[in-house]
Amino acid sequence: MRLIRKLYCRLFQGAFRLALPILPYRDPKLLTSVEDIPAALSEKGKLNPLIVTDAQINALGLTRPLEAALKRRGIDYVLFDGARPNPTTAMVERAVELYRTKGCDSLIAFGGGSPMDCAKATGALVARPKKSLGKMAGILKVRRRLPYLVAVPTTAGTGSETTLAAVIVDAKTRHKYVINDFFLIPPCAVLDPRLIHSLPRDLMAATGIDALTHAVEAYIGRSTNKHTRRDAEEATALIFANLKAAAVHESQEAEAAMLRAAHLAGRAFTRSYVGYIHAVSHSLSGQYDLPHGRTNATLLPIVLEMYGDKIHKKLARLAVAAGLGQAGEEDQVLARRFLDQVRALNDALDIPRTIPQIREEDIPTMARYADKEGNPLYPVPVLWDAGELEAIYRKAVK
Ligand SMILES: [Fe+2]
């Protein structure tokens, strides 16, 4: 990256870092059971929520206890199960239409990252009916309060229940972009471990490594503070200790620990940002419709390796926090062990080491998208422009 652009990126990130203590972040009110949602809605005078979920969750009947609880309380609801992986502008528009025609007054996002993103974007479009979602891409472009939103994660990964981001794919161009605004932080979230109990192993694995990627990218970035570092360290430790057991549903403690880890990692990255792993991953999953967690998981060790010794000190601290080494060992040794352990965890979870779908002719466009998403916003340890980012795709395809 050219020096002048580097300076601009670092100044931009510095301004956000300085503003961090005064920015209006908030933590959602946390509930531990879906049965508590009707009371939370009543408290706010909400009587007709739109539940945004996907067809698989609906078919599994995961929303039934919530629906029964709403009925018991005399709360009407409308169910939209059209959120699919990598939700598109067209899906969001369908949800908005349902919200309006059925006279809904609030939203319940129920599912993994896709229903969460879809529900947040639905709320944004309800709040800003004259503005397209594409025009809300970037930072602080929503600028209006969304309808009351309760977030119910059914995966332990995205941390979306506490983040200010929604990721949407343009239905026509397949361009995947991120909408970031404080109004997208759900005011209420439910961490109910029963909801992740039936998740298939590969989904638990990919979403769990997504959470690890959030924690690591936030931690190695240059905009951390002691709270986000602590959250990222705790999340990393919980993931190394629990993900393998949670993936095969060995115990409810492991499942609950993963829900907490994903939440902490979400809290860390919504304040301290992610980095190029996410920027590249978004361009890949937008282009080839690949699951976000899977692409992140494959990219995580590749990009960490490419950052080189610039991140050794931070990886070393993270390794100690995660119990992978002792304070006092050499940074380089600890950083290497951290990387080896990430690879070992990926291998144990059967996550592929490559992304064979990548086509050489698509790389320049995807790298441009990643550049646009990452620069100047993400306070990454090493700055790369589109040309330099292309190397990540070429390493990942091998
Ligand atoms: Fe992610």
pLDDT tens, 132-147? 999 999 989 999 999 9
pLDDT at 6 over 90: yes
Q: Among 129, 161, 127, 157, which Cα is nearest to 145's?
A: 127
Residue type, 350: D
Q: What pLDDT sits at residue 362?
A: 97
Task: Provide, rounded to the nearest whole percent, the portion of the chain with pLDDT above 90.
Answer: 93
Q: Do domains 3-21+199-397 and 32-196 have the same CATH topology?
A: no
Q: Ligand 1: distance of its center to the CA of 316 in Å?
A: 22
Q: Ligand 1: distance of its center to the CA of 137 in Å?
A: 17
In this structure, the strands spanning 188-190 and 29-31 are parallel
In this structure, the strands spanning 148-153 and 106-111 are parallel
Q: What pLDDT sits at residue 176?
A: 85
Distances 287 to 84, 177, 183, 351, 370 between C-alpha atoms, Å = 15, 12, 28, 20, 12
Q: For residue range 109-140, what is the model confidence (pLDDT) as tens digits?
A: 999 989 999 999 999 999 999 999 999 999 89
Distances 308 to 30, 35, 98, 263, 315 between C-alpha atoms, Å = 38, 48, 49, 28, 11
Q: What pLDDT sits at residue 125?
A: 98
Which phi and psi (to 5°) does residue 375 adopt? -110, 130
- Please report which confidence band the pLDDT of residue 86 belongs to, taking 50, 70 and 90 as the band edges: confident
Q: What pLDDT sits at residue 41?
A: 97
Q: Ligand 1: distance of its center to the CA of 51 in Å?
A: 23
Positive or negative, the Cα torsion across 159, 161, 165, 171?
A: positive
pLDDT at 68 over 90: yes
Tokens of 114: 């896709």
Q: For residue range 208-231, what is the model confidence (pLDDT) as tens digits?
A: 999 999 999 999 999 999 999 999
Please give the CATH number for the structural domain made up of 32-196: 3.40.50.1970
Q: Ligand 1: distance of its center to the CA of 336 in Å?
A: 23
Q: Ligand 1: distance of its center to the CA of 75 in Å?
A: 33
pLDDT at 22 over 90: no
Q: Ligand 1: distance of its center to the CA of 103 in Å?
A: 32
- Please report which confidence band the pLDDT of residue 21 belongs to, taking 50, 70 and 90 as the band edges: confident
Average pLDDT of the residues in 241-247: 97
Average pLDDT of the residues in 187-202: 94
pLDDT at 286 over 90: no
Q: What pLDDT sits at residue 238?
A: 98
Q: What pLDDT sits at residue 130?
A: 96
Q: Ligand 1: distance of its center to the CA of 329 in Å?
A: 31
Between CA 105 and CA 292 the distance in angstroms is 30
Q: For residue range 164-193, what is the model confidence (pLDDT) as tens digits?
A: 999 999 999 988 898 999 999 999 999 999
Q: Ligand 1: distance of its center to the CA of 38 in Å?
A: 29
Q: Ligand 1: distance of its center to the CA of 157 in Å?
A: 7
pTM: 0.91
Q: What value does the mean pLDDT of the chain take?
A: 95
Q: Ligand 1: distance of its center to the CA of 214 in Å?
A: 6
Instruction: Please state the domain extents for the chain.
Output: 3-21+199-397, 32-196
Tokens of 173: 């161009």
pLDDT at 151 over 90: yes
Task: Provide, rounded to the nearest whole percent, the portion of the chain with pLDDT above 70.
Answer: 100
Q: For residue range 253-283, what is the model confidence (pLDDT) as tens digits?
A: 999 999 999 999 999 999 999 999 999 999 9
Angle of CA points 391, 393, 395, to nearest 5°: 70
Q: Ligand 1: distance of its center to the CA of 279 in Å?
A: 10
Q: Ligand 1: distance of its center to the CA of 309 in Å?
A: 24
In this structure, the strands spanning 148-153 and 188-190 are parallel
Q: What pLDDT sits at residue 20?
A: 85
CATH architecture of 3-21+199-397: Up-down Bundle (1.20)
Q: Ligand 1: distance of its center to the CA of 210 in Å?
A: 5
Q: Ligand 1: distance of its center to the CA of 328 in Å?
A: 32
